[in-house]
Structure 1
Amino acid sequence: MRKIRLTQEGVVLALAVAMCVVFAVALPNFLTTGNLIALVRSVSILGILGLGMGLVVIARGIDLALIATMVVSVSWVLSLTTNSGWNLGPALLLGAGFVILIGLINGILIAYATIPAIFTTLAMGLVVYGVGRGWLFQVDVQNTPDNSAFFNFLGRTTVLGMPMLIVAFLVLALLMWLALRWTRFGRFVYAMGDNPAAARIVGLPVRPMIVAEHVITALIAYAAGLVMAAASSGMSTRVYNSTMIYDVLLVVVLGGIGLSGGRGGVRNILVGTLLVGVLLDGMTIMDVPYIEQNLIKSIILLCAIVVDSIINPRDEQTAQQEQGDI
């Protein structure tokens, strides 16, 4: 008989299923239509952001500007359409150009100025948020345009009974899986994450790849922001000051993508998203205070990082910081 291989991904999936069963039995409101819709929305947004974060983590990087990019770009688009009289199409294109610029700056600073990704993206997140609040919009909450076909399509349409929000997540997950699995770009990402020095020696375009990864991640954050705006009929800048960036990291690390790079994939993002979504939803129904929720998530994230360091240990060579390394 073939031996069953125990993996972090399998354990996380089993825990997610077990938590669903326990919450369904213990919490009367868990299986209600309203709660399941809220769970799907939160899962789809976290999952889309997890796809972007997972891409850079596989390549041995990190992007802490993810939430700032999402909040500011979408808030600016909504401000242009509702307050400045712009048509939605040009505003969306301008927002896309804005996030591409953010990704380019992040990638260039990391790849060519050799500034560690954790410091570059942390500072860039503060800069982006400051620019947004100082010059691009003035109020905390931006509403979607009235009777917008685009946002109504994202927020209200269903496909085979599934909300368009979760369909968008699944489509992006499929595209990411195809890119990582079957393209030269995907092979380069894994090679860079596994051994950056060897990737340079064999002639891989490491620096342009780092720039491309951060541009793609910024565009994914933009897509997640549009989905969030469609789901809640607006975008609140207070999201930037929330713990969402830690929720995204929890999805990635808990799902089994190694922080040492070169390991993991879209399947890990899916199981991590499922577990974190069920956990957050269950704690909300049980009226667990916000501070205690953050404490629980922090402990789980710390344990996941410890488990990752045990499963994917970094030897002396890989522990050295390379260009673009965390």
Structure 2
Amino acid sequence: MNTIGWPNFRSLNQEGIVFAIAVVLFVAAAIGLPGFIDPNNLVAIVRSVSVLGILALGMAVVIIGRGIDLSAVAIMAMSVAWYLQLLNSGTPDGLAFAYVLAGVLAIGLLNGFLVAYADVPAIFVTLATGSFVFGYVRSQLITQDAVPVPQGHWVELLGGLRFLDIPVEVFVFAGLAFLFFLFLRYTKWGRYIYFAGDNPVAARNIGIPVRPMLVLRYVLSAFVALVAGLLTAASLHSINTRVVNSTLLYDIVLVAVIGGIGLSGGRGG
């Protein structure tokens, strides 16, 4: 027998529960922490959450396809650190960015190729490539842990952009989230990712290009990591490579899973 006036909690989905908990925590923090609702503090929170959300988008696409990318944070930090190092050493902007973009896409292709065609488990592949990227860039390509953005560079100017007093990172995150939503839900390639994540053998048997799509997912994840790194450098006017050894990677996976992405693949979005 249903009790009139009581909400039906069984009808709440995972996203609804997470949203409700977030609202409760926000209200509790606003009441209990002095200065929490200060505009500057809220802007800082929104900026950090936006970058985390961008990284989670790339991770979500990989997880939906029954994979994982443990190299995302290393790609984010080290690619931008190398880019800024090239700029500070006098390399032309276009050439420096071309080098970095090529390197990022190459790592994404390597991840995807080893997982898709060599059948190496994704957790081992991406852990190894992430460690390689961090070690090689730190020892051979940059000279310090924190690399500053050159004064007056477009990355520095990007960090100061706002619309309606909202940082540009929020709009970039919203735009990317919308594009990923359209890609996953309304294109055949997006549907292929779900099919392959749910049952890769059946997907291959019906003619879906499972292996090329797997490579594409890791390339997308690497590119999104580069975007997140540029936005991080824009807001901080530098990039600190020590973030690779932080808990950021676990936060990314947690955000993706809490957002409704199933680790078993083929679900969420």
Normalised by the size of structure 1, how large is the TM-score? 0.78
1:119 maps to amino acid: F
Q: How many Å separate the matches in 2 of 1:93 and 1:167?
A: 25
Q: How many Å separate the matches in 1 of 2:176 and 2:94?
A: 21
Q: How many Å separate the matches in 2 of 1:152 and 1:238?
A: 20
How does 1:256-275 map onto structure 2 within 5 Å? 256-265=260-269
Please state whether the residue corresponding to 2:176 is helix, strand or coil: helix
Match of 1:131 among 136, 141, 153: 136
Q: How many Å separate the matches in 2 of 1:5 and 1:190?
A: 24
Match of 2:107 among 102, 119, 141: 102
Q: How many Å separate the matches in 1 of 2:96 and 2:201?
A: 41
Residue of structure 2 equivalent to 1:6: 12
2:218 maps to amino acid: H
How does 1:188-207 map onto structure 2 within 5 Å? 188-207=192-211
Match of 1:140 among 134, 139, 145: 145
Residue of structure 2 equivalent to 1:24: 30
Query: Contact 1:156/1:163 (CA < 8 Å) preserved in 2?
Result: yes
1:154 aligns with 2:154: no
| Structure 1 gap ranges (5+) | 266-326
Query: Contact 1:154/1:165 (CA < 8 Å) preserved in 2?
Result: no
Residue of structure 1 equivalent to 2:5: none
1:181 aligns with 2:182: no
1:15 maps to amino acid: I
1:171 aligns with 2:172: no
Query: Contact 2:73/2:249 (CA < 8 Å) preserved in 1?
Result: yes
2:128 maps to amino acid: A
Query: Contact 1:153/1:164 (CA < 8 Å) preserved in 2?
Result: no
Residue of structure 1 equivalent to 2:53: 47
State the 1:207 CA deviation: 0.6
Q: Number of residues paired by the alignment?
A: 263
Please state whether the residue corresponding to 1:235 is helix, strand or coil: strand
How does 1:224-263 map onto structure 2 within 5 Å? 224-263=228-267
State the 1:93 CA deviation: 2.1
Q: Deviations over 1:150-194 (max 9, x none)?
A: 213421111233111111111111111111111111100111111
Query: Contact 1:56/1:213 (CA < 8 Å) preserved in 2?
Result: yes
Q: How many Å separate the matches in 1 of 2:26 and 2:92?
A: 43
Please state whether the residue corresponding to 1:142 is helix, strand or coil: strand
Moved over 3 A (4+): none
Query: Contact 1:68/1:128 (CA < 8 Å) preserved in 2?
Result: yes
Query: Contact 1:74/1:225 (CA < 8 Å) preserved in 2?
Result: yes
Please state whether the residue corresponding to 1:18 is helix, strand or coil: helix
State the 1:88 CA deviation: 2.1
Query: Contact 1:106/1:211 (CA < 8 Å) preserved in 2?
Result: yes
Q: How many Å separate the matches in 1 of 2:156 and 2:137?
A: 25
| Structure 2 gap ranges (5+) | 3-7
Query: Contact 2:43/2:166 (CA < 8 Å) preserved in 1?
Result: no
Q: Deviations over 1:44-98 (max 9, x none)?
A: 110000001011001110000001111111000000001x201223212221111
Over the matched positions of the two proteins, sequence identity in percent amounts to: 49
2:118 maps to amino acid: A
Q: How many Å separate the matches in 2 of 1:191 and 1:53?
A: 17
Q: How many Å separate the matches in 2 of 1:212 and 1:174?
A: 19
Q: How many Å separate the matches in 1 of 2:241 and 2:71?
A: 14
Normalised by the size of structure 2, how large is the TM-score? 0.95
